[in-house]
Amino acid sequence: MTAMTDTALQAAPAHAARGYWATVGRRIVRDKVSMACALILLLILLGALFAPWIGLADPYQGSMIRRLRHIGTPNYPLGTDELGRDMLARLIYGGRLSLLIGILPVILAFVIGTSLGLVAGYVGGKINTGIMRTVDIFYAFPSVLLAIAISGALGAGIVNSIVSLTIVFVPQITRVAESVTTGVRNADFVEAARASGADAFTIMRVHMLGNVLGTIFVYATGLISVSMILAAGLSFLGLGTKPPEPEWGLMLNTLRTAIYVNPWVAALPGAMIFAVSICFNLLSDGMRSAMDIRN
Amino acid sequence: MFVYIARRIVYVIPIVVSVALVCFLLVHITPGDPLVAILPADASQELAAQLRIAYGFDRPLPVQFGLWLWRALHGDLGNSIATGRPVLAEVLRAVGNTVTLAIAAASIGFTLGLFFGLIAGYFRDTWVDKVATSIAIAGVSVPHYWLGMVLVIIFSVQLNWLPAVGAGPGGSGSWGWDWEHIKYLVLPAITTSVIPMGIITRTVRALTGDILSQDFVEALRAKGLRETKVFRHVIKNAAPTALAVMGLQLGYMLGGSILIETVFSWPGSGLLLNSAIFQRDLPLLQGTILVLALFFVFLNLLVDIAQAAIDPRIKRS
Amino acid sequence: MTEIIEPIDKLEPLPDIGGVAQPLLQVDGLTKHFPVRGGLFAKSKTVRAVDNVSFAIAKGETVGIVGESGCGKSTTARLLMHLMERNSGDIIYDGRTVGRELSLRELRRGMQMVFQDSYASLNPRLTIEESIAFGPKVHGMAENASRALARELLGKVGLRPENFANRYPHEISGGQRQRVNIARALALSPRLVILDEAVSALDKSVEAQVLNLLVDLKREFGLTYLFISHDLNVVRYISDRVLVMYLGEVVELGPVDDVWDKPAHPYTRALLAAMPSSDPDNRTQVPPITGDPPNPIDPPSGCRFHTRCPFVEAVCSGESPKLSDIDAAGHQVACYMFIPGSGHSKAPPTGAVAP
């Protein structure tokens, strides 16, 4: 075997070996857009979490005499709403419910949809047909219509809004998970693992999850953007949160009557939804290209 | 080709039945007795029992579904509780206005989307690409109901150029393609067009990039073809997928119009759905969703067939 | 071969039970039919991917399988590895029938496979060391021992462990990856290795190096190979005996030199005649076979080659000819021209010794 140990054969890449996820992480940290988005989201999230302790006004305390102040009013940097409540406090507090009802459905759908998709993709056959044909039914509805139909039938409320959005996203994530899983399942390295005698569970854990979860995760991150818009939209219609809770969609709804008096204050809650939504979209794009390591 | 169309149509039947089932069940996941919405508040026990039998709510669910489906097949979706008029007539009248809105929005969104997508894909990684992709990502991320509000603030409140709500003189029933009506359409249509614009830009950009990096484009250039001709090949290859995405987006606009129609009080199917939800008008809710979903399924079918007609690769499978 | 593993916790190869006389692998009537769902207006059909294939591999020999793409070579390999269910047929490993006397798990210790696509057959998320160590761990080997084994084997396939153990598949070349795949296959101490087009995707120079490596490893570990390839030169170089497959059936089988020098089946002759020659004076002028292979969904009745055979006669479209001996050295062919009294005009008379 001496002929084999020639230098050409031993030629290996110059840089030190690094794990796949470490490389992806390094690439995403170097991406300015993704980092800026992550920072904005982090600030909004921290603001929402620590809202009671950062010296904000009471978001529920209104006053008839100081309704609809303009942006830049002393003590009310972002003005006041139609009941005289401080907009800055309500926008920051609003992150609590808005992020919850926007993100939780995607997390739930990620767990359910990934499980269904993995099973459908790995087991195949009749189980696959059963799961995927059921998913097809939900694809026969535009997602906005489905969310509103379920919400409308269940009635207004935070839980119902989360349930209906979860139902909307499960089929979408299931489809992605199923197609990625099927692709990986037929890869030769999974065949090789089966040939080595490993059981389905071990193959799933060692060889499949690492290759499918990333793609599904990136897809789900992009869905958060849609989910934020839809969740706030349900509240905007009166199907989600109820007054007097600060929540961006609901705030947008109650401030609609004020657009002739104080239009720019009325538009603020929507700007928050927009900011969160675009940041999740850009972050999802950034992760996708960071994970595409062969380019 | 014929076999493909036939197979595709047969495949739609179980979907249609399932969609009907989901619509039917919607009423039954509603908390409480479905009768509550129909009964007057002071109804006696006897009246409740009579109505229960009259509406068939005493039968087993599968039987109820069968009867409901049978009537639906004959165009009978029941009567609206709020107005007493047949649901189907109400829905179809409203859908007409939604179609008007969707067509106007599609002509704006598709044109811009195709334009941005093609130039972004063709001039990949230049400033043109960056501007177009930024517009696209803003388009898919913007809460469209908020954008509608902002447009109203700018063009109705501040500038007073365009009306903020409604569908013009004569109300919901008398649409006409004149400026008196069209000026009511401008803002809702622009608002509706943003999402499809963004999605089509992104799709077409990716398609164009992929096609341009393929070997056959290299070969076309190598044989001395002018760039405009090369571009024609790119468009031809991108068309089937772009068409499919546009069809899907048209469906979303028809079915997902509720938020925008609420913002602009546009008298379409979305506004009808909104009032059905808040007046607990269950037959109207059920009927509107069924009609919209069937529209969507039918549109998907048309898109598949159209795609097969222009893409030679699909016919074989 | 025992000295390669640090004896902390090692995988012994399956014991030699039947001795030299017992074939290591015996395949009996192996059959795989794929149902093809008919369209809306068509009834469902069957692809006869592998049809009643029988052969044996002696201990220590290399058997080649050749044939056009789609003839069932790779399906045979996957059936032997139990990566897909077979419709019927027995697989007997060293005298023990798989599924009865020999468990699937034991079989996988005794038989391993190297795939064609070196990149697709390695998990992109695992280091090379982890990929090789996976199999031994599945079979109960300790973490440390299996990693030590992986490094040991990397050395055996000519890759310095300190350079390669922590690499990811996308960081190394195709030839290096295929060496890794060979090491991975050897990690379970198999006695039989199936090489499914294992060198076909490599550059010619790299291919030669890997072939030499395979020859060395075979000697060092006392391996038996089933070598599947469409490259006739490579098969001749490495094989002792060869099997020619056409549309899911074995049409000829025998020692590689006999088959190459005296091909009997018209298909084998055509296949060999189609071999590109590096000698310009020896160029093939006429196409040896015309037409594409028939669709395996609807294989022709009788001898499956009769639709393309220059010697076709009435008898050929009747019953399917059986593999029959044509000499004492184990050269067998499934063709009526060699079956005495078959009714084919070129067949030897009844009772006559084969030509």
pLDDT, tens digit (0-9, with 9 covering 90-100), for C104-124 = 888 999 999 999 898 899 998
Strand ranges of the sheet holding C249-255, from the earlier edge strand across to the other edge? C111-114, C192-196, C224-228, C62-66, C241-246, C249-255, C332-333, C324-325
Q: Do B10 and C41 touch (CB under 8 A)?
A: no
pLDDT, tens digit (0-9, with 9 covering 90-100), for B59-68 = 788 888 888 8
Residue listed under structure tokens 């006409």? B176
- B interface with C, Cβ–Cβ < 8 A, is 3, 6-7, 10
- CA atoms within 13 Å, Cβ hemisphere of A177: 29
Position with higher pLDDT, A18 vs C61: C61
Residue of B147, C125, B141, B206 lying closest to A283 (CA atoms): B141
Predicted pLDDT of residue A14 = 46
Predicted pLDDT of residue B120 = 93
Cβ-nearest to A153 among B26, B144, B293 = B26
- Average pLDDT score over residue span A270-295: 88
CB pairs under 8 A between B and C: 8
Q: Do C39 and B7 touch (CB under 8 A)?
A: yes
Q: Is residue A230 within 8 Å of A164, Cβ to Cβ?
A: no
Give the residue on C whose Cα is nearest the Cα of A199: C138
Share of residues in chain A with pLDDT > 90 (%): 55
Sign (positive/negative) of CA torsion B124, B128, B129, B130? positive
C40 in reach of chain B (CB within 8 A): yes
- Least confidently predicted of A73-77, B272-276, C32-36, C37-41: C37-41
pLDDT, tens digit (0-9, with 9 covering 90-100), for B97-146 = 999 999 999 999 999 999 999 999 988 889 999 999 999 999 999 999 99
- CA atoms within 13 Å, Cβ hemisphere of B134: 8
B chain contacts of residue C39, beta-carbon cutoff 8 Å: 3, 7
- Average pLDDT score over residue span C269-297: 71
Burial grade of A66 (CB within 10 A; 0-12, 13-18, 19 or more): middle
Is pLDDT at A182 greater than 80 in this prediction? yes
- Average pLDDT score over residue span B247-266: 90
CA distance C242 to B145: 72
Query: What's the pLDDT band for C5 if we cut at 50, 70, 90?
Result: very low
B22 in reach of chain A (CB within 8 A): yes
Termini Cα distance of chain A = 35
A chain contacts of residue C154, beta-carbon cutoff 8 Å: none
CA distance A143 to A132: 17
Looking at every residue in chain A, the average pLDDT score rounds to 88
**pTM for this structure?**
0.84
Predicted pLDDT of residue A190 = 93
Predicted pLDDT of residue A82 = 84
Q: Is residue A154 within 8 Å of A148, Cβ to Cβ?
A: no
A chain contacts of residue C175, beta-carbon cutoff 8 Å: 9
Query: What's the pLDDT band for B307 if we cut at 50, 70, 90?
Result: confident
Q: Which chains touch A (3 or more CB pairs under 8 A)?
A: B, C
pLDDT, tens digit (0-9, with 9 covering 90-100), for C135-160 = 999 988 888 899 999 999 999 999 99
Alpha-carbon gap: B49 to the closest alpha carbon of chain A (Å) = 23
pLDDT, tens digit (0-9, with 9 covering 90-100), for A196-219 = 989 988 999 999 998 899 899 999
Q: ipTM value of the model?
A: 0.88
Residue listed under structure tokens 């107005």? B83
CA distance A127 to C97: 32
CA distance C323 to C335: 7
C chain contacts of residue B1, beta-carbon cutoff 8 Å: none
Q: Do B296 and A252 touch (CB under 8 A)?
A: no
Position with higher pLDDT, A280 vs A56: A280
pLDDT, tens digit (0-9, with 9 covering 90-100), for A151-160 = 888 888 999 9
Position with higher pLDDT, C188 vs C300: C188
Share of residues in chain C with pLDDT > 70 (%): 88
Q: Are strands C62-66 and C45-57 parallel, antiparallel or unpaired?
A: unpaired
Predicted pLDDT of residue A118 = 93
pLDDT, tens digit (0-9, with 9 covering 90-100), for B203-229 = 999 999 888 888 888 888 888 888 888
C chain contacts of residue B3, beta-carbon cutoff 8 Å: 39-41
Q: Is residue A178 within 8 Å of A128, Cβ to Cβ?
A: yes
CB pairs under 8 A between A and C: 97
CA distance A9 to B68: 74
C chain contacts of residue A194, beta-carbon cutoff 8 Å: 83
Q: Do A9 and C209 touch (CB under 8 A)?
A: yes
Query: What's the pLDDT band for C56 if we cut at 50, 70, 90?
Result: very high
Sign (positive/negative) of CA torsion C232, C233, C239, C241? positive
Predicted pLDDT of residue B145 = 93
CA distance A246 to A254: 11
A chain contacts of residue B157, beta-carbon cutoff 8 Å: 259-260, 263
CA distance A241 to A247: 7
Give the residue on C whose Cα is nearest the Cα of B3: C40
Predicted pLDDT of residue C1 = 42
Is pLDDT at A279 greater than 60 in this prediction? yes
